Structure 1
Amino acid sequence: EKADNGDLLFGTIDSWLVWKLSGKEAHITDYTNASRTLMFNIHDLKWDKELLDILEVPESMLPEVKPSSEVYAHTVDYHFFGQNVPIAGIAGDQQAALFGQACFDKGDVKNTYGTGGFMLMNTGEEAVKSDSGLLTTIAYGIDCKVNYALEGSIFVSGSAIQWLRDGLRMI
């Protein structure tokens, strides 16, 4: 009931940040973050009504999904010394790394090493289905068009090295 009345919202970290920075004016996310909820259809670029029904999540509580780059809102003036700063870009962490490392063309690949290890390959405008267990995801969206990526993740690569060093004193 609260969701249907607009009194209850659900989103990702980015949607919460935009919500707070905009003074509760913009409840939005981008394609990359929406796709990570697994409730977003990456082919139709819409919330998946069938999954929402199964999970009993009212669409009215979800953020509006936008491209990764446009002016979404402005900050309220008390956040930035009296200035209304445009909020103009959102992307998931690995997708932002792919974009930030200039992997704009089909076949471009990046690796990120930290606590985990993450490899993304830009597959262009085609959502390639992996036969090897890689995740098909949205790389970024600009002007209501998306580029897709394949992602491989090792969630304990850096932390395993740290455990070998600190826990077992092997390295």
Structure 2
Amino acid sequence: MDIRTSSTVDEILQNGKKPQSFLQNQCGLPVSTYFSALKIKWLMDNVDEVKEAIKESRCLFGNVDSWLVWNLTGGVRGGLHITDVTNASRTMLMNIETLKWDPQLCKVFDIPMRILPEIRSSSEIYGYIQRVTKLMGVPISGILGDQQAALVGQMCFKMGQAKSTYGTGCFILYNTGAYTVRSTHGLLTTVAYQFGANSKPVYALEGSVAIAGISIKWLKDNLQIINDVKESSELAMTAEESGEVYFVPAFSGLYAPYWRKDARRLTPII
């Protein structure tokens, strides 16, 4: 939800001269503060330690999965620098068709490909745990992104099946099978999973809402109008009507389908 990358979005879009969707055919995603490429570029542009580390070829980029696997398999003593196709598909740097880092996408963001992890499937034996004594030698054989893991957990393996999960945000994923469906209505094209290095990937369409469960926490901790999360449900059930008032929690802009990083206002609609 960190939107310090707003200025980076403006730079990539040349202050509105390019549409948010100009890279969508390649990576499946609109240019947004949400995705990794914008955050990497911001760090490269604004943090001297990152600039220096890249210049000296001692900087690596990875999502949390990459960090965990790297540490578990040895870290600086030969740890694996990898990620899977689902996580890579959310960076804006992977070609959604080839499942490889795309030189043209990396060039747009001026990100050196040498810092990126190797892309692997979502289910194969990547390596073995080296640094936890009680788990020494246990194989690491599965990596999935957050929303994609929920899709698999809900067993939405058939084309047309979908799941919606509520946490910090809310995410709907719809299994599109072997097809990369390009949305014209603000949805993301993403990799759902790939079970095995030689298996074909399964794709999904996703609708992403940045703020869901965390808005209830905001009601409790910031506005202090409830004492417990459970109270929100009880209060909602007692309300007979909304009075035509709608609360839009655009705390960090709006994601699907608008992708408006500048959305902020909480506007009553009467």
- The TM-score with structure 1 as length reference comes to 0.90
CA shift at 1:109, angstroms? 0.5
Deviations 1:45-65 (A, max 9, x none): 110101212222221221100
TM alignment of 1:116-131, pairs within 5 A: 116-131=169-184
Mapped partners of 1:30, 1:165: distance in 2 = 37
Mapped partners of 1:116, 1:149: distance in 2 = 18
Note if 1:89 corresponds to 2:142.
Answer: yes
Q: Is the 1:4–1:60 Cα contact (8 Å) retained in structure 2?
A: no
CA shift at 1:4, angstroms? 8.3
Larger Rg: 2
Q: Is the 1:29–1:63 Cα contact (8 Å) retained in structure 2?
A: yes
Q: Is the 2:128–2:136 Cα contact (8 Å) retained in structure 1?
A: no
Gaps spanning 5+ residues in structure 2: where?
Answer: 1-51, 227-234, 236-270
Secondary structure, counterpart of 1:111 in structure 2: strand
TM alignment of 1:128-143, pairs within 5 A: 128-143=181-196
CA distance 1:22–1:4, shift in 2 (3 Å)? farther
Mapped partners of 1:117, 1:42: distance in 2 = 23
Mapped partners of 1:117, 1:54: distance in 2 = 30
Q: 2:67 aligns with which of 12, 16, 20?
A: 16
Q: 1:115 aligns with which of 168, 172, 191?
A: 168
Q: 2:126 aligns with which of 42, 55, 72?
A: 72
Gaps spanning 5+ residues in structure 1: where?
Answer: none
Q: Which letter maps to 1:23?
A: G
CA distance 1:168–1:51, shift in 2 (3 Å)? same
Secondary structure, counterpart of 1:40 in structure 2: coil
CA shift at 1:164, angstroms? 3.9
CA shift at 1:6, angstroms? 5.3
Q: Is the 2:83–2:117 Cα contact (8 Å) retained in structure 1?
A: yes
Name the one with the larger helix percent: 2
Mapped partners of 1:6, 1:130: distance in 2 = 38
CA shift at 1:168, angstroms? 5.9
Deviations 1:1-39 (A, max 9, x none): 965875321111111110000003211000000111111
2:101 equivalent in structure 1:
47
The structure with higher relative contact order (CA 8 Å, sep 6+) is: 1
CA distance 1:7–1:162, shift in 2 (3 Å)? closer
- The runs of at least 4 consecutive aligned structure 1 residues that moved more than 3 Å come to 1-6, 161-166
Note if 1:155 corresponds to 2:206.
Answer: no
CA RMSD of aligned residues (A): 2.1
Q: Is the 2:178–2:201 Cα contact (8 Å) retained in structure 1?
A: yes
Name the one with the larger strand percent: 1
